[in-house]
């Protein structure tokens, strides 16, 4: 066993990216400079949204979304339980209560029927999650929310470059958030963004990321002034020019990377057809999947940990996305969440494995992953 260990996801950085960052390092503006709006404009073009606001990470983008939607104490925010904790934590930051919805058994995306059952007069927003890189059924979610003053947010951290019947992620919800962590589609090391067609929401997000102050350093310099107004309680959630330059350079390569991720997914689909006891998730009709993750489900709910251990021993960086958020100790203790609340997600997560998926993954590596998975499943079966 001499093959190098495979991660489940990793960044691709080339000489263009390095040059873009070095150029900023030698410039006058390391932060709040011109690379920030340049990246934001490129992101707006990619997502089809009118406005993009770059922030320090995907969690900050979710927090900013809650702030600009005026989510606060007494409000409820519905989010699927099968997600990263940040999709729910953002409501708690604002003093609101997260309410955990269940997922569709075939796609593991937020189930609109579950959302319908959880709506109350206190519901202020729904944070849908484009799990694994597939957009949720936003049309169905909008039907469920029709006639109510409830904002629809997409936590699209997995789904940059995905679309539904030709409409890109970024235009499907009122507000969409992205993450540029190294395992995501493009990276700025740490980074995130919020996109929207509503200029007022974008304006407020820019104030929120800058301590609640209405002008930044460069704007004051060009206006020849040194005073400023702090109008709300904000944070320092800015993304530096170094990071924005990296992000813009990375965005140029997104189309090619998406093509590669989709080709890898087809290869996994084909090869896994010959492996008993494991199936991929279902993709909704009309969806162009972005495949942040390639998730499979084991038929045997008791096999997961042994299969994950066996794969990791063979140097294959499998991962789990996710333990349902409502089962974490913090939520059990603080919000009295309990087992049985989200039966579909609770039955699904014990069978889930995320296989390696990133643009630099080779066809040979996919073959090695599938062979190892077959061996691990076979070893677990009696006889």
Ligand X SMILES: *Cc1c(COP(=O)(O)O)cnc(C)c1O
Q: Which residues would be at the binding site for ligand X (CB under 6 A)?
A: 57-59, 83-84, 86-87, 129, 155, 157-158, 179, 181, 192
Between 151 and 376, CB nearer to ligand X: 151
Among candidate residues 50, 124, 184, 253, the one labeled active-site is 184
- In this structure, are residues 43 and 71 in contact, taking their beta carbons and an 8 Å threshold? no
Query: Least distance in Å: CB of 115 to ligand X?
Result: 17
Query: Least distance in Å: CB of 214 to ligand X?
Result: 25
Query: Least distance in Å: CB of 124 to ligand X?
Result: 19
Please confirm, yes or no, whether 184 is among the known catalytic residues: yes
Question: At residue 37, what are phi and psi to the nearest 5 degrees?
Answer: -65, -30
Between 57 and 372, CB nearer to ligand X: 57
- In this structure, are residues 72 and 94 in contact, taking their beta carbons and an 8 Å threshold? yes
Query: Least distance in Å: CB of 191 to ligand X?
Result: 7
- In this structure, are residues 20 and 243 in contact, taking their beta carbons and an 8 Å threshold? no
Query: Least distance in Å: CB of 57 to ligand X?
Result: 4
Between 56 and 337, CB nearer to ligand X: 56
Query: Which two three-digit tokens encode residue 264?
Result: 């890898």
- In this structure, are residues 314 and 1 in contact, taking their beta carbons and an 8 Å threshold? yes
Residue 248 to residue 96: CA distance in whole angstroms = 34
Residue 283 to residue 266: CA distance in whole angstroms = 12
Between 114 and 179, CB nearer to ligand X: 179
Report, as residue numbers or ranges, the catalytic residues: 184
């Amino acid at each position: 066993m001499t093959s190098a260990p495979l991660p489940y996801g990793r960044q691709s950085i080339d000489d263009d990216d390095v040059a873009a960052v070095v150029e900023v390092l030698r410039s006058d503006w390391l932060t709040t400079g011109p690379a920030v709006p340049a990246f934001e404009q490129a992101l707006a073009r990619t997502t089809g949204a009118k406005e993009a606001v770059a922030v320090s990470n995907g969690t900050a983008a979710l927090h900013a979304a809650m702030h600009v939607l005026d989510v606060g104490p007494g409000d409820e925010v519905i989010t699927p339980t099968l997600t990263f904790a940040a999709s729910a934590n953002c409501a708690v930051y604002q003093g609101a209560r997260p309410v955990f919805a269940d997922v569709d058994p075939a796609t593991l995306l937020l189930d609109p029927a579950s959302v319908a059952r959880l709506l109350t007069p206190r519901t202020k927003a729904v944070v849908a999650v484009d799990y694994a890189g597939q957009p949720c059924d936003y049309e169905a979610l909008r039907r469920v929310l029709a006639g109510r003053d409830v904002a629809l947010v997409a936590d699209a951290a997995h789904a940059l470059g995905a679309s539904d019947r030709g409409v890109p992620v970024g235009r499907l919800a009122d507000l969409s958030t992205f993450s540029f962590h190294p395992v995501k589609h493009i990276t700025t090391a740490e980074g995130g963004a919020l996109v929207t067609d509503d200029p007022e929401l974008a304006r407020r997000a820019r104030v929120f990321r800058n301590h609640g102050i209405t002008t930044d350093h460069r704007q004051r310099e060009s206006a020849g002034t040194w005073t400023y107004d702090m109008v709300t309680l904000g944070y320092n959630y800015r993304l530096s020019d170094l990071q924005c330059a990296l992000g813009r350079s990375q965005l140029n390569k997104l189309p090619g990377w998406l093509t590669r991720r989709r080709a890898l997914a087809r290869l996994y689909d084909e090869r896994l057809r010959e492996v008993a006891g494991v199936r991929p998730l279902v993709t909704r009709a009309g969806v162009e999947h972005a495949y942040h993750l390639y998730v499979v489900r084991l038929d045997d709910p008791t096999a997961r940990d042994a299969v994950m251990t066996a794969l990791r021993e063979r140097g294959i960086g499998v991962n789990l996305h996710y333990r349902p958020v409502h089962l974490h100790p913090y939520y059990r203790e603080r919000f009295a969440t309990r087992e049985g609340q989200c039966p579909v997600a609770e039955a699904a997560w014990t069978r889930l494995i995320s296989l390696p998926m990133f643009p630099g993954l080779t066809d040979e590596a996919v073959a090695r992953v599938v062979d190892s998975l077959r061996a691990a499943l076979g070893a677990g079966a009696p006889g």
